[in-house]
Protein backbone atom coordinates (compact mmCIF):
# COMPACT_ATOMS: atom_id res chain seq x y z
CA UNK A 1 0.00 0.00 0.00
CA UNK A 2 1.10 3.52 -0.65
CA UNK A 3 0.31 6.81 0.95
CA UNK A 4 -3.20 6.97 -0.49
CA UNK A 5 -4.75 3.89 1.06
CA UNK A 6 -8.44 3.88 1.68
CA UNK A 7 -9.31 2.92 5.21
CA UNK A 8 -12.98 2.08 5.42
CA UNK A 9 -14.44 2.31 8.91
CA UNK A 10 -17.55 0.33 8.26
CA UNK A 11 -19.57 0.56 11.42
CA UNK A 12 -19.89 4.22 12.33
CA UNK A 13 -18.56 7.67 11.78
CA UNK A 14 -17.09 7.94 15.27
CA UNK A 15 -14.58 5.22 14.42
CA UNK A 16 -13.79 6.88 11.10
CA UNK A 17 -12.99 10.05 13.07
CA UNK A 18 -10.58 8.13 15.30
CA UNK A 19 -8.91 6.63 12.25
CA UNK A 20 -8.66 9.99 10.49
CA UNK A 21 -6.92 11.48 13.55
CA UNK A 22 -4.32 8.70 13.27
CA UNK A 23 -3.82 8.72 9.50
CA UNK A 24 -4.07 12.44 8.73
CA UNK A 25 -3.18 12.88 5.04
CA UNK A 26 -1.61 9.43 4.65
CA UNK A 27 -4.97 7.77 3.98
CA UNK A 28 -8.47 8.45 2.81
CA UNK A 29 -10.92 7.48 5.52
CA UNK A 30 -14.45 6.55 4.47
CA UNK A 31 -17.39 5.63 6.67
CA UNK A 32 -20.18 3.38 5.43
CA UNK A 33 -22.74 5.01 7.69
CA UNK A 34 -23.46 8.72 7.79
CA UNK A 35 -23.48 10.86 10.95
CA UNK A 36 -26.54 10.06 13.04
CA UNK A 37 -27.29 6.77 11.30
CA UNK A 38 -28.66 3.96 13.47
CA UNK A 39 -25.76 1.51 13.32
CA UNK A 40 -27.24 -1.60 14.92
CA UNK A 41 -29.80 -2.37 12.23
CA UNK A 42 -28.26 -0.44 9.34
CA UNK A 43 -29.31 -1.59 5.89
CA UNK A 44 -26.33 -1.23 3.54
CA UNK A 45 -27.00 -0.14 -0.01
CA UNK A 46 -25.30 -1.19 -3.25
CA UNK A 47 -23.54 2.19 -3.12
CA UNK A 48 -22.06 1.19 0.26
CA UNK A 49 -20.64 -1.99 -1.26
CA UNK A 50 -19.12 0.05 -4.10
CA UNK A 51 -17.46 2.34 -1.52
CA UNK A 52 -15.89 -0.67 0.21
CA UNK A 53 -15.08 -2.78 -2.83
CA UNK A 54 -11.69 -1.23 -3.58
CA UNK A 55 -10.67 -0.57 0.02
CA UNK A 56 -7.27 -1.75 1.15
CA UNK A 57 -8.43 -2.36 4.71
CA UNK A 58 -11.74 -2.33 6.53
CA UNK A 59 -12.14 -1.59 10.24
CA UNK A 60 -15.21 -2.66 12.14
CA UNK A 61 -16.18 -2.55 15.78
CA UNK A 62 -17.39 -6.07 16.49
CA UNK A 63 -19.06 -6.89 19.82
CA UNK A 64 -22.40 -7.23 17.97
CA UNK A 65 -22.57 -3.51 17.21
CA UNK A 66 -23.11 -4.12 13.53
CA UNK A 67 -24.98 -7.40 13.17
CA UNK A 68 -25.32 -6.80 9.42
CA UNK A 69 -21.62 -6.50 8.79
CA UNK A 70 -20.50 -10.09 8.24
CA UNK A 71 -23.05 -10.36 5.42
CA UNK A 72 -21.74 -7.05 4.06
CA UNK A 73 -18.16 -8.38 4.06
CA UNK A 74 -19.22 -11.48 2.16
CA UNK A 75 -20.07 -9.23 -0.80
CA UNK A 76 -16.49 -8.01 -1.09
CA UNK A 77 -13.57 -9.73 -2.78
CA UNK A 78 -11.29 -10.62 0.11
CA UNK A 79 -10.77 -7.10 1.38
CA UNK A 80 -8.90 -7.54 4.67
CA UNK A 81 -10.88 -6.52 7.74
CA UNK A 82 -9.90 -5.90 11.33
CA UNK A 83 -12.16 -5.96 14.38
CA UNK A 84 -10.77 -3.02 16.31
CA UNK A 85 -12.40 -3.83 19.63
CA UNK A 86 -10.10 -6.85 20.12
CA UNK A 87 -8.67 -6.88 23.64
CA UNK A 88 -11.44 -4.81 25.20
CA UNK A 89 -12.73 -6.02 28.57
CA UNK A 90 -16.43 -5.67 27.96
CA UNK A 91 -18.95 -4.18 30.34
CA UNK A 92 -22.37 -5.79 30.20
CA UNK A 93 -25.52 -3.76 29.68
CA UNK A 94 -27.45 -3.76 32.96
CA UNK A 95 -31.01 -2.94 31.87
CA UNK A 96 -33.41 -3.13 28.94
CA UNK A 97 -33.71 -5.45 25.98
CA UNK A 98 -29.96 -6.03 25.76
CA UNK A 99 -29.40 -6.73 29.45
CA UNK A 100 -26.45 -9.07 29.94
CA UNK A 101 -24.96 -8.41 26.49
CA UNK A 102 -21.64 -6.59 26.15
CA UNK A 103 -21.96 -2.86 25.57
CA UNK A 104 -20.51 -2.46 22.06
CA UNK A 105 -19.88 1.29 22.44
CA UNK A 106 -16.55 0.68 24.17
CA UNK A 107 -14.77 3.60 22.49
CA UNK A 108 -16.54 5.86 24.97
CA UNK A 109 -14.23 4.78 27.83
CA UNK A 110 -10.73 6.27 28.01
CA UNK A 111 -8.77 3.03 28.38
CA UNK A 112 -10.92 1.35 25.75
CA UNK A 113 -10.48 4.27 23.34
CA UNK A 114 -6.73 3.83 23.70
CA UNK A 115 -7.08 0.12 22.84
CA UNK A 116 -9.01 1.10 19.71
CA UNK A 117 -6.25 3.57 18.80
CA UNK A 118 -3.53 0.96 19.38
CA UNK A 119 -5.42 -1.67 17.34
CA UNK A 120 -5.83 0.77 14.45
CA UNK A 121 -2.14 1.72 14.54
CA UNK A 122 -1.08 -1.94 14.70
CA UNK A 123 -3.23 -2.85 11.71
CA UNK A 124 -2.06 0.14 9.69
CA UNK A 125 1.55 -0.64 10.52
CA UNK A 126 1.08 -4.08 8.96
CA UNK A 127 -0.86 -2.94 5.90
CA UNK A 128 1.02 0.32 5.30
CA UNK A 129 4.53 -0.17 6.70
CA UNK A 130 5.79 2.89 4.85
CA UNK A 131 3.73 5.17 7.11
CA UNK A 132 3.93 3.19 10.34
CA UNK A 133 6.08 5.77 12.17
CA UNK A 134 3.67 8.51 11.15
CA UNK A 135 0.72 6.52 12.52
CA UNK A 136 2.52 5.90 15.81
CA UNK A 137 3.42 9.59 16.15
CA UNK A 138 -0.12 10.71 15.32
CA UNK A 139 -1.61 8.22 17.77
CA UNK A 140 0.53 9.63 20.59
CA UNK A 141 -0.59 13.15 19.72
CA UNK A 142 -4.22 12.00 19.55
CA UNK A 143 -4.02 10.27 22.95
CA UNK A 144 -2.59 13.43 24.50
CA UNK A 145 -5.38 15.47 22.91
CA UNK A 146 -7.97 13.14 24.46
CA UNK A 147 -6.32 13.32 27.89
CA UNK A 148 -6.15 17.11 27.72
CA UNK A 149 -9.91 17.47 27.26
CA UNK A 150 -11.00 15.23 30.11
The Cα diameter of the chain in Å comes to 46
Q: What secondary structure does DSSP assign to 3-35, as a single string?
A: TTEEEEE-S-HHHHHHHHHHHGGGEEEEESSPT
Report the pLDDT value the prediction gives residue 2, as an integer from 0 to 100.
47
**pTM of the full structure:** 0.90
Q: Which residues neighbour 68 within 8 Å (Cβ) at sequence distance 6 or greater?
A: 41, 42, 43, 44
Report the pLDDT value the prediction gives residue 136, as an integer from 0 to 100.
98
Q: What is the 3-state secondary structure (H, E, C) of 135-149?
A: HHHHHHHHHHHHHHH
Q: Give every residue of the chain whose pLDDT is below 70, as ranges.
A: 1-10
Report the pLDDT value the prediction gives residue 8, as an integer from 0 to 100.
61
Report the pLDDT value the prediction gives residue 3, as an integer from 0 to 100.
46
Q: What is the pLDDT of residues 59-91, one digit of tens each?
A: 999 998 888 888 899 888 788 999 999 999 988
Amino acid sequence: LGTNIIVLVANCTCLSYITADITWDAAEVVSITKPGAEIHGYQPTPKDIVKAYDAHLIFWNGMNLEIWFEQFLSNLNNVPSIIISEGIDTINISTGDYKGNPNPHAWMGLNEAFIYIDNIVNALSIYDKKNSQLYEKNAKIYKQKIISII
